[in-house]
Amino acid sequence: MKNLLIIAAMALALSSCAVVASPLTGVIYTDMKAPLAVTSNPVASKVGTAEATSILGIVATGDASIEAAAKKAGITRISHVDYEANSVLGVFAKYTVYVYGE
């Protein structure tokens, strides 16, 4: 009974922690890369990134838009977009967008 209470308390505690959008999520650790978008332009000579972070699921800041990432690299024709999701113990989470293009 005591163990069940501990597990329930942990589940409750973790459910309000920092989570990051990802097709697969690890409660303790997440390090995922996945595709976000693709266009008909196959050429990529530049890469731009943009990210947003969350702490404890309480504060989340940043601009992880495709527009921000493309602007940083001077990309006007996008080839494809990937993203990366990282989180550690629900304390810290980061979402990074990678825009490829020319």
Partner 1 sequence: MPLKQIIAIILSCALCTAAYCQNSSRYLKTLGQEGYTLYFIKPVPFKKGKSQLIPDFTFQYREGLPDKVALKFSLFSKTPFREMGHLSFRSGGEVLGQSSGSELMFLEQKKGKWHTRFSTHISYPTLLAMLNAGEALEIRFHSQDTIRSFPAGKKWRKASATVKEILGAEVGALENK
What is the contact surface with partner 1 in residues (CB under 8 A)? 3, 6-7, 26, 28-29, 31, 33, 42-47, 49, 71-74, 88-89, 98, 100
Between 46 and 54, CB nearer to partner 1: 46
As measured in angstroms, the least distance from the Cβ of 16 to partner 1 is 19
Q: Would you call 5 helix, strand, or coil by DSSP? A: helix
Contact 57, 17 (CB under 8 A): yes
Q: Least Å distance between CB 3 and partner 1? A: 5
Residue 19 near residue 57 (C-beta atoms within 8 A): yes
Q: How far is the CB of 98 from partner 1 (least distance, A)?
A: 7
* Separation of alpha carbons 74 and 72, rounded Å: 6
Structural contact between residues 99 and 23, judged by C-beta atoms closer than 8 angstroms: no
User: Strands, E, within 2-90: which ranges?
Assistant: 29-38, 46-55, 59-62, 78-88
| Comparison of 95 and 100: residue with beta carbon closer to partner 1 | 100
Q: Which is nearer to partner 1, 15 or 31 (CB)?
A: 31
Nearer to partner 1, 15 or 67 (CB): 67
